[in-house]
Amino acid sequence: MGKNHWQLQDAKNKFSSLVEQAQLCEPQFVTKYGREVVVVLSIEEFNRITGPDTTLLNFFHSSPLAGIHMNFERTKETPRDVEL
């Protein structure tokens, strides 16, 4: 296993070191019975992965098109005939 893999028992015993490595280096993987079960990563990495904390409404308000008026009225014309 690589430097960023920890057996569960080692992760529990050396939790401070695990957290420090996650903050300074790269995500740290914890294994149980030889299988990766969890990942410990820095808050900066977590925020980068999950993206900005914004709502859809805030997204549209901050859009470059926010001040432009658009007309979304439907046409009054009847629909076209379709053969079935």
What is 16-63 written as a DSSP string? HHHHHHHHHTS-EEEEETTEEEEEE--HHHHHHHH-----HHHHHHTS
**How far, in Å, CA of 77 to CA of 75, rounded?**
5
Tokens of 34: 């030889």
Q: What is the pLDDT of residues 26-64, one digit of tens each?
A: 999 999 999 999 999 999 999 888 887 778 888 888 888
Q: What is the pTM of this model?
A: 0.60
pLDDT of residue 3: 86
Top-tier CATH class for 5-61: alpha beta
* Annotated domain spans of the chain: 5-61
